Amino acid sequence: MFIFILLQARQTRLMNGSLFNRFSYLQRYGIRLQKLALDAGFTCPNRDGTRGSGGCTFCDNAAFHPAYASAGKPIARQLEEGMAFHRRRTGPDTFFLAYFQAFSNTYAPLDVLRQRYTEALETPGIRGLVIGTRPDCVDDGILDLLAGLKAQGAIVEVEYGVESVYDETLRRINRGHDFATAAGAIRATAARGIDTCAHLMLGLPGETRDMLLAMPRALNPLPLSCVKFHQLQIIKGTPMEAEFRSRPEDFLRWDPEGYASLLADILERLRPDIAVGRIVSSVPPRFTDRPWHLLRPEALVRLLEERLKERNSWQGRLLEADSLRK
C-alpha cells in the first residue's frame, strides 16, 4: 500500500507542474471545456418542507448566479447566452458543459430531469453535464439515467454538496442529511462509472483547525474523482450572518496567507489521486462585508504552491509518512 501511495504522490508533483493535483479538463478529456452555470428552476428538500425549511443557514443562491442564469429563461437560451459571454474570452475552440448549479438539480421527477438534461445536451456546443446536487436527492433511477447519458457519449459529472464530514456541524447549519448519506451517494455514483466530486466548506461554526485537518481521513476512503474547497463567506441576510454576529468566537477566519497555510496542511493529508477542482470562492461584494473578490483564484494558488514548496511538501506527503510508520 505504501508503494502505491508513494508512486501516486510522486506523480502528483509532476501534474501541471504543480505540487498538488489540480483538476484540468484539458488533461482529462483532451479538449478545452468551460462550465456554464444554469438555473433549471429546481428547489431543495430543506426549503420546501420535505426535510426542513429555510435552507442551509449559509445559503443565498443569488450570491453565485451569473447574469445569464435565470430560472425564467429556457435552458437552451441560458446556455447560448453563456457561450456567447465566455467565447469573448476563451475563443471559438472552447466547448462547454451545462452546469446545473442552482439548488438541488436531481430533486424532481425522473421525467422532468430527463427532459431538462436532454435539452441541455441537444444545445449545439454542449459536450456534457455537471450536476450539482445534495446527496439525499439521488436514487437508483436518477443515477441510472445519468449513467445512460454517459453511455451515449456525454461527459457526466456529479458534484455533491457535502460541506462537512461532521454530523454535528451538518445539524447546526440545517443541512438536512448526515455524512453517511453523502458517503453512500458518492459510492453509488462512482460505482456507475460517473466522476464524482465533493464540495467542502472550511470555517463552518464550531469546527476547529484540528477537525479540518482530520477531514481527509473521512474523504480518502471514498471513490472521489475530485474535491472542491472554499472558505466560508458570511452572506448578508442569511441565518449564518446572525449566528456570526452573536457568536463570532465559534468561527475560524483567515486572511489569504493563513488560508493558504491551512490548505497546505489539508492537502498534505489528502489522497494524491483526488483532483482539487477549487480552493477558494468569491461572491459579488454587495453580498458580504468581507469580500475576497480582490484576490483572484490564481493568486491564491500561487500562495498555496509557495507554502508547499517552502515545506518541501506535496499533496499526500503525510500519507507517505503514515505508511512508513506502519
Per residue in 224-245, pLDDT (tens digit) is 999 999 999 888 889 999 999 9
DSSP 22: B
pLDDT at 259: 94
pLDDT at 71 over 80: no
Judged by average pLDDT, the poorest of 3-12, 82-91, 300-309 is 3-12
pTM of structure: 0.90
Helix (H, G, I), strand (E, B), or coil: what is residue 273? coil
pLDDT at 97 over 70: yes
CB atoms within 10 A of CB 184: 16
Q: Where are the domains of the chain?
A: 2-325
- Closest to 8 (Cα-Cα) out of 223, 274, 260, 186: 274
pLDDT at 6: 46
pLDDT at 69 over 80: no
Measured CA to CA, the distance from residue 158 to residue 271 in angstroms comes to 20
Highest mean pLDDT among 142-156, 225-239, 244-258: 142-156
pLDDT at 169: 97
**Which has the higher per-residue pLDDT, 47 or 307?**
307
pLDDT at 177: 93
How far CA 41 is from CA of 79, 115, 280, in Å, comes to 14, 13, 26
Sign of CA dihedral 104, 262, 66, 291: positive
Q: Is 55 in contact with 63 (CB distance < 8 Å)? A: no
**pLDDT-based confidence at residue 285 (cuts at 50, 70, 90):** low
**pLDDT-based confidence at residue 56 (cuts at 50, 70, 90):** confident
Residue whose grid cell is 497546505:
264
Judged by average pLDDT, the poorest of 34-43, 87-96, 118-127, 301-310 is 87-96
Per residue in 180-218, pLDDT (tens digit) is 999 999 999 999 999 999 999 999 999 999 999 999 999
**What's the topology of domain 2-325?**
TIM Barrel (3.20.20)
Sheet bearing 33-38, strands edge to edge: 33-38, 95-100, 126-133, 155-163, 195-202, 226-231, 275-278
Residue whose grid cell is 440545517:
174
**Averaged pLDDT of the chain:** 88
- Closest to 123 (Cα-Cα) out of 176, 173, 83, 181: 83
pLDDT at 92: 76
- Closest to 179 (Cα-Cα) out of 227, 215, 129: 215
Give the whole-number percent of the chain exceeding pLDDT 70: 87
Nine-digit cell at 118? Answer: 436532454
pLDDT at 90: 76
Nine-digit cell at 162? Answer: 457535502
